[in-house]
């Protein structure tokens, strides 16, 4: 979604919001699975106690939730996160809101 990776991603913008939709629209025609790899938003303390890597981290829950939302709304086949329990709850809530 962001060319230089999580640690250099910067602020979420309207341009970035449309990126997952573009990826997801091409994947089925190309017979690819569109996956978003390691979308994490953990504090330094969470990184340390869980053994997660800082290089795959957007730095906050607020930042990663924007990316989870964009990937989910684009219909991503797979969203990877070390925070799988929180991601699962987030996606369930997002699905409930949509219905």
Query: Which residues, listed in sequence order, are joined to residue 40 by a DSSP beta bridge?
Result: 57
What pLDDT does 80 receive? 92
Tokens of 53: 């890597």
* pTM for the whole structure: 0.72
Q: Give DSSP secondary structure letters for 3-48.
A: TT-GGG--S--HHHHHHHHHHHHHHHHHTPPPEE---B---HHHHH
Residue 29 clears pLDDT 60, i.e. is over it:
no
Residue 16 clears pLDDT 90, i.e. is over it:
no
Cβ density class 36-46: b for 16+ within 10 Å, e for less: bebbbbbeeee
Per-residue pLDDT tens over the stretch 33-67 = 667 788 999 998 999 899 988 888 999 999 999 99
Tokens of 14: 């309207």
């Amino acid at each position: 979604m962001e060319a230089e990776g999580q640690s250099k991603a910067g602020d979420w913008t309207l341009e970035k919001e449309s990126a997952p939709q573009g990826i997801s629209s091409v994947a089925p025609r190309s017979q690819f699975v569109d996956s978003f790899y390691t979308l994490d938003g953990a504090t330094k303390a969470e990184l340390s106690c869980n053994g997660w890597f800082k290089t795959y981290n957007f730095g906050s829950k607020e930042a990663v939730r924007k990316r989870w939302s964009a990937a989910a709304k684009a219909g991503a086949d797979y969203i990877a996160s070390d925070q799988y329990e929180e991601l699962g709850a987030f996606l369930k809530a997002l699905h409930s809101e949509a219905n």
